[in-house]
Amino acid sequence: MRIHRGSMAYDLGRMLEALSVLLFASLLIPFVWQEWWAIPSLVCSGVLPLGLGYILTHRFEHSGDSGRLHGMMIAASGWFLVALFGSLPFFLLAWTAQLDPGLLGVPQRYTTPGTQAFGTLGVFRHPINGVFESMSGFTGTGLTMAVHENTLPRTLQWWRSFIEWVGGVGVIVLTTAILARPGSGSLTLYESEARSEKIHPSIVTTVRTIWWIFLLFTFFSILLLWLAGMPIWDSINHAMTGLATGGFSITDSSIGTYNSSIIDFTLIPIMLLGSIAFPVHYLILQGDLKNFYRDLQTRWVFIFFGTGTIVLTAVLFRQGLYQTATVSIAGVTLHGTLATLIQSFRYGLFQFVSAASCTGFQTANSLGSEWAPQAQLTVAAGMVVGAAAGSTVGGIKLIRLLTLLKGTLFRIRGIFYPSSAIRTFRLDGRALSGTEASQEFEEAAIITVLWLVFLAIAAFVLLVVLPIGSGTDAYTVENVLFEVASAQGNVGLSTGITGPWMPSVTKVLFIFNMWIGRLEIIPVLVLLRSLFVYRGVYHR
Amino acid sequence: MRLDSIPVLGPLFGAGADDHVFDLLLLSGPLIICVIGFLHRSFVSFVLALSYAAGFVAYIGYRYTTMS
């Protein structure tokens, strides 16, 4: 196998150029919030990828199209590079505050040891924390190294939300939209980023339409959240991260900070929008609302979210964690058992939708310490499965689960038919031949098995590295499984394991899990295998 | 001036649902957010945001009725 370094370098250069566009566009934020001291860091962060990107694209301009294998390698290495360079604002801003050059006028709260702001920004002086945050952002995970998000500079609050927003749709989708590549290379790359849906025959028009839909929904979501009572800056950030099903928040206790059932319920349709495939959105905007139930995946998104919510509500209600004397909804006050049931439903609905949509917003502060293991595992199941393929969610995806379930039933039923019988496997309105069915079944099985294997490996490492037991500083096995599923499913819900206090080995492991989770594992394995073969570490 | 001739954002407008109402919503969204930024939570900003959100939902409903 020959590695077409020129073709790879050219595409990686384009991705870095696209990243620099994001960084320069973000310069608007320090101007609006008058965080002048953040400007040099942001400019440097933009200049570096721009310079490297410019050199690569000009040096390898005539390198030709990349094939499927190289598409996967470009997607995997590109996402890693983007996360790496995307960590620069965290790193440079933290060091600007630390060095405090008098000329820049860094606010005192960031330069005074002992303050929350100093401590929160200070963790990013360690590059690994910045890379973690950046990878978490771009992959739409939402696990964070920031302890007090509300004390972060507005520039970093924005950068975290912005990279989740972009990462939700995809870095390659962004690159293709603004720096269209001639030839068939765009389609290859697009498919390597765990996307296959096409709205139009042209891939460039498809990705532009995806952005068009995403922008429109973002403005709608911002205004919806503001109408629900959120301040406008919070609405902008949470609409972006909610729609992208990312889950970064700019408040300490995520959405729980507002303690508002109106805001909780307003975020449900926003997270649902992010869980539905873009082609379905396009048809819905055309007025074809029947797709809400006619499209297999969309129909199952509602069924899965509904069932999960009922189960989680029942577990929470039985546990009695949200026992309350009264609860008011739209001016009506409920008492006793009914009030507790409604309160359990409020938290159950929000947390299950947040988990299964892979958003990771939290309204329940005590997922790790107070929630029953059954509740944690119900949420973990939601995180592992995820929602619709072709949306912004992570996880295995509902369509794969359905393929596996229907395929297994198809195989079992096949035993009762004579071997000469001609049978058709039907999936999502398509009639598949035996070979096609086997191919789809195999693809779903491979991804699912790989997903579970990497989940098990990461869980094993965590069980070795972290204190496990029943003490106050120890974690349970459920906590570990929950956290790993959250990282690999790009969800972001946490039982308290993730934070700057984590051992470095777990940070690196989670960076890897988030990376493979976003790209659906295979492109990363292809890249690693090619690198090992190339370096002579592994021989075929 | 055609929307798709606007530099940088032009191709984005050209790629949408080919519907001027949605294009208008896409253009007016950031403007309303700016207005909210300046006026904060006032009657004017509230009415603007509510009109936008209601208009968005109502227009999808309208397209559904005209389609079926």
pLDDT digits (tens, 9 = 90+) for A191-217: 666 566 667 767 778 888 888 899 999
CA distance A280 to B61: 16
Which residue, among B43, B64, B65, would best test binding to A if mutated, counting the most A CBs under 10 Å from its CB?
Answer: B64
What does the pLDDT read at residue A178?
63
pLDDT at A308 over 60: yes
Coil, helix or strand at residue A291: helix
A174: closest chain B residue by CA: B12
What does the pLDDT read at residue A424?
83
Note whether A288 contacts B64, CB cutoff 8 Å.
yes
What does the pLDDT read at residue A143?
95
CA distance A242 to A383: 15
Least confident segment among A203-207, A400-404, A494-498: A203-207
Kindly state whether A283 is in contact with chain B, defined as any CB-CB distance less than 8 angstroms.
Answer: no
- Residues of A whose CB is below 8 A from B40: 232
Kindly state whether A224 is in contact with chain B, defined as any CB-CB distance less than 8 angstroms.
Answer: yes
- CB-closest option in B26, B32, B37 to A215: B26
Note whether A285 contacts B17, CB cutoff 8 Å.
yes
Strands (DSSP E) found in A346-461: 425-427, 430-432
Kindly state whether A186 is in contact with chain B, defined as any CB-CB distance less than 8 angstroms.
Answer: no
Note whether B12 contacts A226, CB cutoff 8 Å.
no
A288: closest chain B residue by CA: B64
The two tokens of residue B16 are 């949408």
Note whether A227 contacts B53, CB cutoff 8 Å.
yes
Min Cα separation A269/chain B (Å)? 12
In sequence order, what DSSP letters do the residues of A419-440 get, joined into one string? TT----EEETTEEE-HHHHHHH
Query: Which one is predicted more confidently, B18 or A187?
Result: B18
CA dihedral sign of residues A500, A502, A505, A507: negative
Note whether B66 contacts A287, CB cutoff 8 Å.
yes
- Residues of B whose CB is below 8 A from A218: 29
Which residue, among B60, B62, B65, would best test binding to A if mutated, counting the most A CBs under 10 Å from its CB?
Answer: B60
- CB-closest option in A209, A212, A220 to B53: A220
Kindly state whether B27 is in contact with chain A, defined as any CB-CB distance less than 8 angstroms.
Answer: no
What does the pLDDT read at residue B4?
65
Q: What is the 3-state secondary structure (H, E, C) of chain B?
A: CCHHHCCCCHHHHHCCCCCHHHHHHHHHHHHHHHHHHHHCCCHHHHHHHHHHHHHHHHHHHHHHHHHC
Phi, then psi, of A8 in degrees rounded to 5: -65, -45
CA distance A53 to A21: 11
User: Radius of gyration of chain A from Cα atoms?
Assistant: 23
Which residue, among A24, A174, A203, A226, would best test binding to B if mutated, counting the most B CBs under 10 Å from its CB?
Answer: A226
Q: What is the ipTM of this complex?
A: 0.91
C-alpha distance from residue A514 to each of A79, A160, A329, A454 (Å): 11, 16, 38, 11
Per domain, the residue ranges of chain B are: 16-67
Mean pLDDT of all residues in chain A?
A: 88
Interval B43-66 mean pLDDT: 94
User: Are β-strands A332-335 and A425-427 bridged in parallel, bridged antiparallel, or unpaired?
Assistant: unpaired
pLDDT at B68 over 90: no
Q: Which residues contact A509 (CB under 8 A, 6 or more apart)?
A: A458, A461, A462
Kindly state whether A230 is in contact with chain B, defined as any CB-CB distance less than 8 angstroms.
Answer: no
Q: Please name which of A187, A182, A161 lies closest in space to residue A172, comparing C-alpha atoms.
A: A187
pLDDT at A175 over 90: no
String of b and e for A475-512 (b: at least 16 CB within 10 Å)?
bbebbbbbbbbbbbbbbbbbbebbebebeeebbebbbb
Note whether A285 contacts B62, CB cutoff 8 Å.
no
Note whether A212 contacts B56, CB cutoff 8 Å.
no
Q: Which residues contact A398 (CB under 8 A, 6 or more apart)?
A: A297, A300, A301, A304, A385, A386, A387, A388, A389
What does the pLDDT read at residue A2?
58
The count of CB pairs under 8 A between chains A and B is 82
Note whether A236 contacts B15, CB cutoff 8 Å.
no
Kindly state whether B66 is in contact with chain A, defined as any CB-CB distance less than 8 angstroms.
Answer: yes
pLDDT at A183 over 60: no
What does the pLDDT read at residue A190?
64
What does the pLDDT read at residue A209?
86
The per-residue pLDDT for range A321-370, each reduced to its tens digit, is: 888 888 877 778 888 888 999 999 999 999 999 999 999 999 876 666 78
- CB-closest option in A216, A227, A236 to B22: A216
The two tokens of residue A260 are 């508002």
Kindly state whether A212 is in contact with chain B, defined as any CB-CB distance less than 8 angstroms.
Answer: yes
The per-residue pLDDT for range A70-129, each reduced to its tens digit, is: 888 888 999 999 999 999 999 999 999 999 888 888 999 999 998 999 999 999 999 999
Kindly state whether B39 is in contact with chain A, defined as any CB-CB distance less than 8 angstroms.
Answer: no
Note whether B67 contacts A285, CB cutoff 8 Å.
no
What does the pLDDT read at residue B9?
65
What does the pLDDT read at residue A171?
76
